[in-house]
Amino acid sequence: MVITDARAPDNPISWVNDAFLDLTGYDAHEVVGRNCRMLQGSGTDPAEIRRIRAAIEAGEPVSAELLNYRKDGTPYWSAMTVTPVRDEAGIAYFYAAQADMTHTHQREVSMRGTNDELERLVAARTHDLSAALEQKTALLHEVDHRVKNNLQVISSLMLLKARRTPEGEARDALQSMAERIGALSTAHRMLYSEGDCTHFNLGDFAAEFLADVNAGLDHERRRIEAEVEPIAVAAAMAAPLALLIHELTANALRHAFPDEREGRISIVARRAEGGMRLTIRDDGVGLAAVPPNPAGFGRNLVEMVVRQLRGTIVWADAGPGTHVEIDIPLLSPA
């Protein structure tokens, strides 16, 4: 504790207790009569000194932390509260209570050093993980690119073989398999072109797939309409969904409109509670009018894919046409 005489020139120290002397290393006769600035040194913050001085001149209490110096020159941090003491004539004294905060500041400095080191380690680790992630992403893109190319080659080979095969079940089977492989190739092309290789935009796929299908249709007789929301699904679902949409569309084109019948196919995919609902409908002849095909594979394939996706499927005559409704749960984005 320190008391200074506010009415004496330069506001000198008039009394200190033993704790102050122990802290600073001075004897009482060395400090009494001198201003407290004697404790300041090269590391003392000038801005903090000005703030304390302004409060004293205004006669207001003030709290501050200063780097002061002991008699032997060693620094220490002092947390102080300076309070004016008044009598009838005004401010007579200033009373200052001080506490040694050196150990606290040393811990703060040590913690800052530790934090800086941790931040450096975290930054280095983050950089390494980012680099590894970039490499993984590039590798996945390359895999999708190569798979797409290989599927295109296989599809082309099967189409070439189909053209050289006499008309009949074998040729139709080759043609159908080539188209299915083409749909898978489109899915991998979409994965390759996406910035996020972990997800697949169903809306973008549907637009690109239907553009390819519509290019081969006579729009005056048949058309495919789509309303597919831009639903982000896990990349692992890309191939099954691509195969599902292709198969249902191809089946409708192949069986719903016999004898050059005109017609329309609609594809709708929307978010539903817990997943999405895919609806494919045509205005063709309906399920009952299509004779059973023992060699047929399309409907079985669709139902297998739906089971793989843990979904449910309902086939129904729409009067006219066929209505297929599929509910598929979606995994939350990673």
308, part of any domain: yes
CATH assignment of the domain containing 323 = 3.30.565.10
How many domains in the chain? 3
Residues 204 and 314 in one domain: yes
Residues 48 and 143 in one domain: no
Rounded to an integer, what distance in angstroms lies between the CA atom of residue 240 and that of residue 288? 27
253, 259, 263 from 221: Cα distances, Å: 11, 12, 6
Q: What residue spans of 164-280 are helical by DSSP H?
A: 169-193, 202-215, 238-255
pLDDT in tens, the chain (334 residues): 999 999 999 999 999 999 999 999 999 999 999 999 999 999 999 999 999 999 999 999 999 999 999 999 999 999 999 999 999 999 999 999 999 988 888 787 778 777 888 888 888 888 888 888 777 767 776 776 777 778 778 878 888 888 888 888 788 778 778 878 877 777 777 666 665 666 777 888 788 877 877 777 777 788 888 888 888 888 788 888 888 888 888 888 888 888 778 888 889 989 888 789 999 999 888 877 776 666 567 788 889 989 988 999 999 888 788 999 999 998 654 3
Residues 327 and 249 in one domain: yes
End-of-domain residue from the set 100, 134, 163: 100
68, 102, 109, 215, 277 from 76: Cα distances, Å: 5, 5, 14, 83, 71
Note the pLDDT of residue 333.
46
Note the pLDDT of residue 191.
67
Q: For residue 292, give the DSSP letter.
A: P
C-alpha torsion angle, residues 247, 274, 268, 309 (rounded to 10) = 0
Residues 265 and 279 in one domain: yes
Rounded to an integer, what distance in angstroms lies between the CA atom of residue 219 and that of residue 270? 26
CATH assignment of the domain containing 43 = 3.30.450.20
117, part of any domain: no
Rounded to an integer, what distance in angstroms lies between the CA atom of residue 209 and that of residue 186? 7
Note the pLDDT of residue 196.
60
Residues 334 and 202 in one domain: yes
110, part of any domain: no
DSSP secondary structure of 74-141: -EEEEEEEEEEEEETTEEEEEEEEEEE-HHHHHHHHHHHHHHHHHHHHHHHHHHHHHHHHHHHHHHHH
Find out whether the peptide bond into 46 is cis, omega within 30 degrees of 0.
no
| Phi, psi dihedral angles at 157 (to 5 degrees) | -65, -40
Residues 279 and 334 in one domain: yes
Note the pLDDT of residue 332.
53
Residues 293 and 319 in one domain: yes
62, part of any domain: yes
109, part of any domain: no
Residues 70 and 83 in one domain: yes
158, part of any domain: yes
Q: For residue 289, give the DSSP letter.
A: G
Residues 221 and 180 in one domain: no
Residue 54 CB-density burial (10 A; 0-12 exposed, 13-18 middle, 19+ buried): exposed
105, part of any domain: no
88, 243, 266, 270 from 250: Cα distances, Å: 103, 10, 12, 21
pTM score, two decimals?
0.51
Note the pLDDT of residue 149.
79
Nearest Cα to 208, choosing from 235, 165, 252, 238? 238
Residues 193 and 203 in one domain: no
Rounded to an integer, what distance in angstroms lies between the CA atom of residue 245 and that of residue 224? 12
Residues 193 and 207 in one domain: no
Domain that includes residue 235, residue range: 198-334
118, part of any domain: no
Note the pLDDT of residue 295.
57
Rounded to an integer, what distance in angstroms lies between the CA atom of residue 50 and that of residue 40? 13
End-of-domain residue from the set 142, 163, 197: 197
End-of-domain residue from the set 69, 100, 131: 100
Residues 185 and 283 in one domain: no
